[in-house]
Amino acid sequence: MDQNLNIQQKRAVEAEQKPLLIVAGAGTGKTKTLTSRLSFLINSGIPPEKIVAITFTNKASKEMEHRILAKNPGLNPKPFIGTFHSFGARVLREEAGLYGRSKDFFIFDSADSFALIKKIIKEIGDKDIKPSLVSNFISSGKNTFDRVEPPQGLDEDLAYTALEEYENRLRAHNAFDFDDLLEKPVSAMKNNPEVLKKYQERFRHVLVDEYQDVNDMQYELIRFLAGKKGAVSAVGDAAQTIYTWRGSNIKIFLNFEKDWADATIIPLEENYRSSANIIAAASAVLAGNNYLTGRFEKKLYTKNPAGDKVTLAELKGEQEEACWIAKKIAPPVKAGESSAILYRTNAQSRAIEQELIRAGLEYKIFGGLRFYERKEIKDILAGLRLRVNSKDEISKDRLQKNILKKRVKTYEEFIAQENTPQAPKELISDFMRVTGYLEILDKSEGNLEDRKENIAELVRFAEEFADLSSFLEQVSLLQTTDNFGNKKNNPSQIILSTIHLAKGLEFDNVFIAGVKEGLIPHGRTYYNEEEIEEERRLLYVAMTRAKKRLFISFYGIPSRFLGALPAEVTEYETPNNNRGFLSFDDEERYIEYD
């Protein structure tokens, strides 16, 4: 038993072997508690091989396994500790015959699956079918128990023809796709009582990390494994549910007591990560929610010092905001403290990267590509360079590979005839229109909305230049100097990340950029109350990544969530603004002048 557990953590670790939900707020030691719970079960006499501990990421499972082996040296056999998908793959190695595969099957990743779908569509012979629509249709069908209707723009007969052929090809390849790793084990247990009995007898207890992120298919897998005995220990925080767009169902978390008879719910509310001022600010933002009430209402507290006040800055635009962040972030970086800049959309990184490069500050994009490395940006820049130099074979080769030779030829003929000087913004528009580039992206790439936002950001930057040569020169200079951030484990390297990817991480200093209407909450969520509340939770997650200092910045109309920040824990900055910081209720800030 870990001697450093607080009273609530100890209660959770030593709870009876019946359904247990540990409601673990941000920074309250959920991993330590869940790991200690697993050790406690082993030390209570449950054979390790009878325990399943399921996480969402390989990183989390490796950390849990490391801690378990440190607490229990020489443990053999070991419990299963891994992701939902790795557990599903293990089940399928035994049950593959139910689906016409052998146990040495291959697993198709998303790229393999997409390539197979494109090939099937080509053979079907309908050039108007968008592979992304078919891919989403197939994936949706494998992640729900209800019949999925094809999305708008996809004929129903063609959709089901493609689905049937896709499944036939997977079988012929002796392969499962990534979605199968959940759907097929659940289906096997649901439709084969002997299979269900085998796994319920094999495992006596199920532990689940990040329970708030569970989707319907994952929930069914947990329910089947735990069986009527309900031997499940789950840990999570409904306040950090930020993935409903990819299937997580917050109602599963909130309905724990309804789903599991005689359930115990134990809250963890002491935060060990952040200063008291940060906790007060984050809790105030979350308090305005409409869902997490009653037993799931967050009451985080900390014994940490008050620390610095939360800085809230109002800037005049994204470039000034990026410049302000670069100046503010330099001192803590030079002091060797960890720092991160978080944002709602990938497109926001462009201005921030530019200012960090100008300031000579190293940075790393966490879980993603730097702005000018993104495919759609490189394609458009290749089109612009070809316009300047028709002998640029590198750019031409790239375009022929990515948008087909026929379209490239049409584009070359267009630029040969068009000699009127135009601003870079118009030239980007020409490239998009003549090549039908958005149509190409829609048919061949995922995350179309994110890619469109990146293109829109490139256009915004292009608006600052009157001629194409100056624009391309500036981009080239940025790319040339953008090569210093490759050192591993560099404490002075700044992390740039979307908020979604930063969940689970922590930093001494956190900067949250663009906390404005249209970004947080995102414009796409305006007409859905549940999505608005998820945006609130997203901001809460971003704020609770900070340990020592938290900086929040915006331009334009401030996010509706910022009005909840307590004045006593907030300090305001308005660089280059003589009017000072206006109240969120002041009508002047919402007046636009022609």
Residues acting as catalytic residues? 30-31, 209-210, 240, 545
Six-digit token string for 177 = 């796709």
CA distance 355 to 321: 10
Pairing state between β 232-236 and 264-268: unpaired
- 501, two tokens: 């990817």
Q: How many residues are listed for the chain in this entry? A: 594
- Contact between residue 97 and residue 122 where contact means Cβ atoms under 8 Å apart: no
Question: What's the CA dihedral at 123, 126, 131, 136 to 10 degrees?
Answer: -110
**76 in helix, strand or coil?**
coil
The burial of 567, by beta-carbon neighbours within 10 Å (0-12 exposed, 13-18 middle, 19 or more buried), is given as exposed
Half-sphere exposure of 488 toward its Cβ, with a 13 Å CA cutoff?
0
At 47 the three-state DSSP class reads coil
188 neighbors 195 (Cβ within 8 angstroms)? yes
Which residues, listed in sequence order, are joined to residue 266 by a DSSP beta bridge?
22
Side chain identity at residue 95, one-letter code: E
What residues have CB less than 8 Å from 323, skipping those under 6 apart? 355
Query: In which element (H, E) is residue 68 found?
Result: helix 58-71
What's the CA gap between 55 and 85, in Å, rounded?
Answer: 9
Helix axes 216-226, 193-202, angle to 10 degrees: 70
Identify the CA nearest to 41 among candidates 279, 252, 204, 281: 204
Strands 570-573, 494-498: pairing is unpaired
